[in-house]
Structure 1
Amino acid sequence: MNGLAAAAGAGRVRDVSGLLATMTSEERKAALPVLKEIRAEIRGWDWDRWRERGAVQDALLVAGAGCLSGAAAAAAWIGARDLRSATVVPYGVVAAVLEDRDPTWLADVAHRLAARVSTAQQDAPLIQELVGMSGCETPTTDEYVQGWALSVTPARVGPVALREDRHAPVLVPRMFEATPLPSALTTYDDPDHPLHWPSTLARLAEEGVLDRAVLVDGCVLRLLRGGRPGEMRSLLHVLRGLGLTPAEESARVADWSGMAADGLSTVAAHAQQVLGRVAARGELSTRALAEMSAGVLFRTEKKLVRAQLSLLGKELRRDPAAAPELLPVVSEAFGHEDSEVRARALKLVARYVPAVDAGVREELAASAVLLGPAHRGEAETVFGALGDGDGEAVSEDYEEILPPAPSPRRLDPAPESVAEVVEQLLVLLRGAEDVVAFERVLDGVVRVAHREREALAEALRAAMTGRWWTDGTVGWADDRFSQDTRGLEVVAAALTGRVSARMLDRARSRPVRPGLCAHAGLSHAVDSRLWEVCYFLITRPLPFLLATPTWHTGTLDAEVLVDRLREYARLGARPAPVDFAQALLRVRREGGEAAAKAAAGLGTQEGDRLAAWLGDPEPVVPVLRTATADDDGGAQAPATSGLGRRIAEARERPAFKREFPRPLQWLGHTQDIPSHRCYHWEGGARYWPAVLPQDGEALAMWLLPGVRATAQDDARGDAWCLPVLAEAEGRPGPYLHRALACGLGARYGEDRLAAVDALLVLAARRQLDTGLVGREVAALVRDGTVKLNRLADSARTAAATGAYRTVWGLLAAALPALPAVAPAPRGLGEILEVAADCVERCGPDTASRTAGSGLVPGLTEQAGRGGSSRLVVQASRLLAALRQGSEHRRPETAKTSR
């Protein structure tokens, strides 16, 4: 027993295995307490002993597995996270140690390990060994299937590994049911690669090693479930490799219909092609075609919708008698966002409408009002006079539909009990960044710690067990927390005694290093306040925080701050410097005369400072213009080109050095706009707007590089700030408008939606300069930062909310710089389509008042080029809409506009 403990403590895995073979069951049982003591000891080792710790972990894992007699205890020991080293777990040694156990016991351990979500994938090789030794049924948990798929493929190249694996017939079908789909199935896209699973599965099904029908069922059912694009692509590879027969395709019409209606674009396109083949063979009923068409025509992908209209056209040519059942489905496309789709649908209906009765014709005419003004003339030719509807153009009576301007929301009171504080703190530590919750919980921690610090500390010790800083030394935690607070994590560490007051005192007064960007300064402002709060939690708990915002935007009412200072004076408490400075940066100064008088009457240094601050008309960070040689905008707005240059500066404010603590003095110095995204964008950025909620334009200036990267570098997620800045206090300036222009052309949809939200918020607050945004957009398109197809998607989304006049105002300012460009920018046809839709919806008169009189330069030339390209058709449509007044006549075509 002593020898086993010594070998395990020294990390000698082979010696442990040999000693176990010579020990009786009683000796093994007696060794367990010592092994547990060693396991507890190594948890407290510093990270510089990682190599030694890894060896001991491996030895302990083998020793414990050999000594434990219960299957549940053995599985828990083998699967324990704290016994996992950085190297590969010695599965072969563990299996050898257990080979003398009863097969039933081995089977129990194997299935228990397979059921462990956290480790089953990693333990797949050991589970395979145990299953082979026991002869039990193969486990089929998702995690084990994932691990098995990864372990079996690299073992022997190609189908050989699966052909010889007796578990493959059971586990391969389970691969299609696992969530997520095993990564082995999706790793390689090249069908010629030897580890390409889809090709391998199709080959083994052809050889009869795997049941082909089971694979087909698995693929189809998983495609119906949906998933990530890579998963669906791999499943389509498998399905195509299996080569379904016409009978198999026809037997699954309902499945293909579901995929076509609800699947990813690639899946829907495949299902649509299959159904097209089934229809061509005359094996697709009219009712089934109508049902699946209704789902496809509702989709936004224009390629799918156009293909479905083509399929319906073929079926109607084959069987004109199907018109009464199919034409009402075709009319569903009358309301599609794409004008060409609407035109195709109308043309198809017009061709076959003579074959329907009066009732169907009346139903089709009722749907025709969705076509909009561009197609109203053609629709009236087919159906006669149409009634009023949403599709009718509006001129004099047009009214913009905008969301209500957002109202500030008050913060809820801070949590007041130990249990509430601990619960909400844990939620924040495990969830996403939330400024409102962050401020409430931080204030709650301070308030509760002031009343019952020891009770809060004890509750946090129990709740924080297992976090990375709970086992190391105080010095080790100091080193890491002195560089990054990791949000409220440092607060929990401070209250539980894991960081020192000395480190916190140094960190809270540390200035921003010269030369760092404003992003570093904003992060340092947040961290410095946390370090300061932690320092006072250890040395002199504050009664509450002064800088906790009143409103969700991060702003603080001046009257509230005066009341807090009055309470501090009553309690004889001394404000924390960074917290008080942050309160000044957040306080609303507009209309603060009464609050300034009350602050001056407090008779305290902080009251006098607040009174002077409320009376100071100077913005915190006054943004100035640095003109450059090629700018044509004078000194009134940022340049619309050369975004990488230093284009702005902040006026020096020496008073910051005298009146603000060192962590915030950087705000009084000149700040450059970085030309690229810096590493400071990696975390904590969502707390930055709350540092300067009264100066949204300065924030927009500093956040601009990240938003620009969403369009220029295809970055993801950095346009989150646009709705926040749109709701910020103060008048938005040119930098916010430029950031908005970048966000509208972002690569990813969530970023474009954030920009659209900001656009509508500014429009609702009557703070949007559509001309400025449009000119910025045009400049960004010219220099290649923004792609027109992305801009068109944003504009279409905004217009669909009812903001046609707002979107037209933006596009009218951008278009003069675009049609005349040769060659025409890709996506210009989409932009012209949205513009034409906006003009038709709000009416030419309203459009002229919004964007000024006159036609867009270059539009006539584009429309006169001839042909049926999207660009020519939409240029003709926009030209006709601008020329024709508010009458509902057929728009001019490319030929008539020459």
Structure 2
Amino acid sequence: MGDGVTGVDEAGVTGVGVGDESGVESGVDKLLAAVRAGVTADVPALLEPLDAAERKAALARLKVLRAEVRAGQWASPPYLANRIRSALYVAGAGCLNGVAETASWLGARDLLMWDTDGPMALAALGERDPEWAADLAGRLAKRQAVAENSYPLLHGLVVRSGYTVAPTDGYVNGWVWHITDDRLLERLREDPQTPALVAHALAMAEAPERFTRTLRPGSLRHWPTALRTLVAEGVLDRAQVLDLCVSRLLRGGPIRNLRFPLEMVRLLEPDTDELGKRIPDWVGIAADAPSLVAGYAQDVLTELASAGTLPAGALAEMTAGVLFRTEKKLVRAQLALVGKVLAREPGAAGELLPAVTEAFGNEDTSVQERALKLVGRHLTAVGPEVRDELAEAAGLLSPMHRQAAEALFGSALEEPAGAPYEEILPPVPERLLVAPPASTVEALMAELVAKGLSEEPVALERALDGLVRLAHRDRATVVEAVREAFPRTGWQETHYFTHHTQGIEVVLAGLLGLLDRARVDLGRTKGNGSDSCFHQALSGVLDARLWEASDLVGTGALPFLLATPTWHTGAIDPLVLVARLREYRDAGAEPAPADLAQALLRVLRDDPSAGRAAEEAAALGTPAGRRLAVWLREEDAVAASVRFLVRGEERSTMQWWLFDRIVVDVADRPAVREEFPPAFHWLGGALEATPRRCYHWVDGRAQWAAVLPADREVLAACLLPTLAYCVEGDSRGATEPLTALAEAEGPVGRAVLLTLAFGLGCADADDRLRAVDALLVLASRGELDARQVGGELAWLVAEGSVKPNRLADAARTAALTGAYGTVWAVLSAMLPDLLTAAKPVRGLGEVLAVAADCVERCGAGGDVAGLAPLAAKRGSTQLVVQAGRLLNALRQGTDRSPTETV
């Protein structure tokens, strides 16, 4: 290691070498000894007696030590490297002279470790010129991560120099974090920069973390209350604070970033004059902000309208924006507001009614009806041109309102278009070739850094194959490049892989020699026990291959990866895999077990070239070639089926919830258990097929589809238990593999269709959207059995697992793409069982509304069991109204769709 280090004792303190021939230890030696021992607290005092020449000499040795730490030579014991980094951070600060060089050292991401390092670095800097200190503070403040973590140092430099620092996001984040305590108000009063820093904080796109915390107004740490007090005291300018808060609300973004400015406005209680000066902003907020904020803006503008200070033009602009929104509460409140204004000012009808027609296209037919009635009440107050404009907009109304619109507009209403209905589905996805891996070390490092060690399947596979290929050619060059590209990251710590999900980081760590041999062996040979869940099993396949690569990367045993996909779905062309095995044979290399197993799972057995590939594989004369030939000739190399246990009578039983009743039966495949590595044995039937609760953190979901791209029915069966938590629980994200599942290969059976049914009923809107995409992709490929999907949805809705409102939202989303016929085919198969059920299904009216819209658009006809008796009932509930609408639409079905009896 150099510099006379004798070793590390149990406490992590190194022995100290001799500094000169006389045996007297120099000040520089003492400083370096303290740094190597990681005793950061001693460093400022040891720097004091050193002159400029000694500090220069110490700096050269500090740089050498820093390079050793970055290279991983001080990785054991694990805590020592971090302590050394802290000491290096402080010592370097005291040894450097130039502002730029000091800023570079103090801003390095491989040095600063603890909050206490900043004050000690300030002490190590000693007395510097005020201009020098201010310049350093300004340079560090411009680096967000550095400014956030080094606020005590930056603040100390500002106080010491007497200068101010231009606010930056990082500096303000650090400031907010460090002054938020029970003395918050006093600290704000004491800081002369408070007005400038508060102004910057209120304008930030990403609100400081302490601003997003929910605290009671009575708390001493409640920022809005403190700022209101400063406004009352004149420390902060009231008009400026209001302007900043309203502007931030207008810019929008996630609600977590808007709660603070919204609460500030509420606490300041602006009067009518202050609100009226910002009418254009409130109009924009009402139209585009998240619901909570838009509702407040709507209340503000309603107050102004009631006071008679809201111009008709502003109200019209506001109305058009709000009526475009989907929140029924906001839409109905806006229609009520317009009605009140028109009752008071009939002359404003010419400006306001055209804006009201925005509601004619609302998905809720009751909203359409309200808007139409509002227009009808004030139609006599407008001229012919406006009347024609309103009649034209009436074309957006649902056909159920056609008769009312005709009575209102007469001949001015355009006749409905007579063009035949045409179903709109997404284009059939084409297989896309995966680009070749990076061919140079520079390109590979740029890819890894730019994508941040991406876990996206194709990106991961390309990077992994490129890493293996380049390390096989020149391991030393790749190792050095990795160390430079990732000087300090969590995965370089020895404990990281004991409790983190693995990714390409484990292969990088293996390349750098940072992994424990026993851990590598465990990762390569670990299987999935009978107590494992299916997401563990899928992730286990991924992990086994990565641990195998971490062991073999940079050696002659792994020239490249066999399992790298050739297509974007994760699949491998059979002839390409044969060519890879031929290259292995010619090089005298033996395929890595997990890599070969994953390659077999990815090869397309039903590809037209599979027969020829099997013959060529057998002709290779190698064990791997023979295995591939046999595998390609297997019709069902792996298989699984799904069934459900009978539901228990009480919620408290372990057999009541959907995720407790799913049973996945993996077919018995002895060849898989005998020839594949342990992590793959469950695919041969070794994983006990019983329902089980999964208490594990679910990660790596996007990569699961790439494990079985040629056997999507098996993959779908494995996804169902995790998907069930998104249907009945509060989990989210489990639908990430569904798009890839729809584009994958293999037959579509009950498991795939159940994933669609589960996905359409997920609690999270993004999960439902991914399920809609998958459904439409299958429909475009001609692989969707709509009637079976409808049948699965029927029992899921009937038992309460899938909520009707969630299903209605998903169905409406799918229909609005133009797939009205496809959605109706699903719903028409689902509705009879629900309409004739002994127990009424609560919330079914929303589903009937979507069904009626689909039938009105696509012109389907026929009968639905149980619909007519429901439509004949008295009442104005949504269920009865929408049942009548659907029945009427079906009776008016045109010849464009064949009549069906469901």
Q: TM-score range by the shorter chain?
A: 0.7 to 0.9
Query: How far does the alpha carbon of each residue in 1:400-431 deviate from its partner, in whole angstroms, 9 at most, with x for none?
Result: 22222222223334444444444434445x15
Number of residue pairs matched?
858
Q: Pairwise mapping of residues 291-302 of structure 1 onto structure 2 (< 5 A)?
A: 291-302=317-328
Match of 1:681 in 2: 698
Alignment partner for residue 458 of structure 2, among 426, 430, 436? 436
Alignment partner for residue 877 of structure 1, among 843, 865, 885? 885
Q: Which shifted more, 300-309 or 209-218? A: 300-309
Match of 1:833 in 2: 849
User: 1:256 and 1:425, CA in 2 relative to 1: closer, same or farther beyond 3 A?
Assistant: closer
Q: Pairwise mapping of residues 129-144 of structure 1 onto structure 2 (< 5 A)?
A: 129-144=156-171
Match of 1:622 in 2: 639
Deviation for aligned residue 1:543:
5.3
Match of 1:377 in 2: 403
Match of 1:796 in 2: 812
SS in 2 for 1:719: coil
Q: Distance in 2 between matches of 1:189 and 1:673?
A: 46
Matched, 1:174 2:174: no
User: 1:872 and 1:195, CA in 2 relative to 1: closer, same or farther beyond 3 A?
Assistant: farther
**Which residue identity lines up with residue 195 of structure 1 in the other structure?**
R
Match of 1:891 in 2: none
Query: How far does the alpha carbon of each residue in 1:645-679 deviate from its partner, in whole angstroms, 9 at most, with x for none?
Result: 35231222222234334443332124326544452
Q: Distance in 2 between matches of 1:91 and 1:607?
A: 61
Structure 2: 5+ residue stretches without partners: 1-26, 649-654, 896-902
Q: Pairwise mapping of residues 796-875 of structure 1 onto structure 2 (< 5 A)?
A: 796-818=812-834, 827-845=843-861, 848=862, 853-856=863-866, 860-861=869-870, 864-867=873-876, 869-875=877-883
Match of 1:402 in 2: 425
Provide the TM-score with structure 2 as the length reference: 0.86
Q: Which shifted more, 419-428 or 254-263? A: 419-428
User: Could you tell me whether the CA contact under 8 Å between 2:357 and 2:371 is conserved in 1?
Assistant: yes
**Which residue identity lines up with residue 433 of structure 1 in the other structure?**
E
SS in 2 for 1:173: helix
Q: Distance in 2 between matches of 1:403 and 1:92?
A: 60
Deviation for aligned residue 1:463:
3.9
**Which residue identity lines up with residue 708 of structure 1 in the other structure?**
A
Match of 1:611 in 2: 629
**Which residue identity lines up with residue 581 of structure 1 in the other structure?**
A
Matched, 1:310 2:336: yes
Q: Which shifted more, 334-343 or 291-300? A: 291-300
SS in 2 for 1:154: coil
Query: How far does the alpha carbon of each residue in 1:811-845 deviate from its partner, in whole angstroms, 9 at most, with x for none?
Result: 23333454577986554332222122112222341
Match of 2:577 in 1: 561
Matched, 1:84 2:112: yes
Deviation for aligned residue 1:18:
4.2
Q: Distance in 1 between matches of 2:139 and 2:145?
A: 12
Matched, 1:283 2:309: yes
Q: Distance in 1 between matches of 2:646 and 2:179?
A: 64
Match of 1:769 in 2: 785
Deviation for aligned residue 1:19:
4.8
User: 1:872 and 1:94, CA in 2 relative to 1: closer, same or farther beyond 3 A?
Assistant: same
Q: Distance in 2 between matches of 1:640 and 1:808?
A: 31
User: 1:532 and 1:147, CA in 2 relative to 1: closer, same or farther beyond 3 A?
Assistant: closer
Query: How far does the alpha carbon of each residue in 1:371-420 deviate from its partner, in whole angstroms, 9 at most, with x for none?
Result: 1211111111111257667x7699xx543222222222233344444444
User: Could you tell me whether the CA contact under 8 Å between 2:69 and 2:75 is conserved in 1?
Assistant: no
Matched, 1:740 2:756: yes
Match of 2:4 in 1: none
**Which residue identity lines up with residue 455 of structure 2 in the other structure?**
E
Q: Distance in 2 between matches of 1:437 and 1:702?
A: 24
User: Could you tell me whether the CA contact under 8 Å between 2:138 and 2:166 is conserved in 1?
Assistant: yes
Q: Pairwise mapping of residues 500-519 of structure 1 onto structure 2 (< 5 A)?
A: 507-513=523-529, 515-519=531-535
Q: Distance in 1 between matches of 2:380 and 2:147?
A: 65
Deviation for aligned residue 1:176:
0.8
Match of 1:730 in 2: 746
Deviation for aligned residue 1:432:
3.3
Match of 1:152 in 2: 179
Provide the TM-score with structure 1 as the length reference: 0.86
SS in 1 for 2:163: coil
Structure 1: 5+ residue stretches without partners: 632-638, 888-898
Deviation for aligned residue 1:481:
6.0
User: Could you tell me whether the CA contact under 8 Å between 1:501 and 1:538 is conserved in 2?
Assistant: no
Deviation for aligned residue 1:469:
5.9
Alignment partner for residue 262 of structure 2, among 222, 228, 236? 236
Q: Pairwise mapping of residues 528-539 of structure 1 onto structure 2 (< 5 A)?
A: 528-533=544-549, 535-539=551-555
Matched, 1:325 2:351: yes
User: Could you tell me whether the CA contact under 8 Å between 1:640 and 1:779 is conserved in 2?
Assistant: no
Deviation for aligned residue 1:757:
0.3
Query: How far does the alpha carbon of each residue in 1:113-143 deviate from its partner, in whole angstroms, 9 at most, with x for none?
Result: 3223222123323333332332212441111
User: 1:329 and 1:412, CA in 2 relative to 1: closer, same or farther beyond 3 A?
Assistant: same
User: 1:210 and 1:321, CA in 2 relative to 1: closer, same or farther beyond 3 A?
Assistant: same
Q: Pairwise mapping of residues 186-197 of structure 1 onto structure 2 (< 5 A)?
A: 186-197=212-223
Deviation for aligned residue 1:444:
3.9
Q: Distance in 2 between matches of 1:677 and 1:386?
A: 62
Q: Distance in 2 between matches of 1:138 and 1:535?
A: 50
**Which residue identity lines up with residue 830 of structure 2 in the other structure?**
A
Query: How far does the alpha carbon of each residue in 1:723-770 deviate from its partner, in whole angstroms, 9 at most, with x for none?
Result: 111122122222222221221122222111100001111222232233
User: 1:6 and 1:419, CA in 2 relative to 1: closer, same or farther beyond 3 A?
Assistant: closer
Matched, 1:212 2:212: no
Q: Distance in 1 between matches of 2:750 and 2:633?
A: 26
Match of 2:93 in 1: 65
Deviation for aligned residue 1:640:
12
Q: Distance in 1 between matches of 2:53 and 2:546?
A: 55
Q: Distance in 2 between matches of 1:540 and 1:364?
A: 76
Q: Distance in 2 between matches of 1:19 and 1:594?
A: 76
User: 1:122 and 1:662, CA in 2 relative to 1: closer, same or farther beyond 3 A?
Assistant: closer
Deviation for aligned residue 1:346:
1.2
User: Could you tell me whether the CA contact under 8 Å between 1:578 and 1:661 is conserved in 2?
Assistant: yes
Q: Distance in 2 between matches of 1:630 and 1:69?
A: 75
User: 1:64 and 1:625, CA in 2 relative to 1: closer, same or farther beyond 3 A?
Assistant: closer
Match of 1:346 in 2: 372
SS in 1 for 2:665: strand
Q: Distance in 2 between matches of 1:8 and 1:533?
A: 36
Q: Distance in 2 between matches of 1:213 and 1:716?
A: 42
Match of 2:681 in 1: 665
Q: Which shifted more, 293-302 or 2-11? A: 2-11
Matched, 1:122 2:149: yes
Q: Pairwise mapping of residues 416-427 of structure 1 onto structure 2 (< 5 A)?
A: 416-427=439-450
Query: How far does the alpha carbon of each residue in 1:483-536 deviate from its partner, in whole angstroms, 9 at most, with x for none?
Result: 988333344444555558997677545544454333333333233334444555
Q: CA RMSD in A?
A: 3.5
Q: Distance in 1 between matches of 2:290 and 2:598?
A: 48
User: Could you tell me whether the CA contact under 8 Å between 2:663 and 2:691 is conserved in 1?
Assistant: no
Q: Which shifted more, 350-359 or 220-229? A: 350-359
Q: Distance in 1 between matches of 2:301 and 2:629?
A: 75
Query: How far does the alpha carbon of each residue in 1:620-643 deviate from its partner, in whole angstroms, 9 at most, with x for none?
Result: 332246675679xxxxxxx99854
Deviation for aligned residue 1:222:
0.9
User: Could you tell me whether the CA contact under 8 Å between 2:704 and 2:737 is conserved in 1?
Assistant: no
Deviation for aligned residue 1:177:
1.6
**Which residue identity lines up with residue 112 of structure 1 in the other structure?**
R
Q: Distance in 2 between matches of 1:276 and 1:783?
A: 44
Deviation for aligned residue 1:875:
3.3
Match of 1:719 in 2: 735
User: Could you tell me whether the CA contact under 8 Å between 1:501 and 1:539 is conserved in 2?
Assistant: no
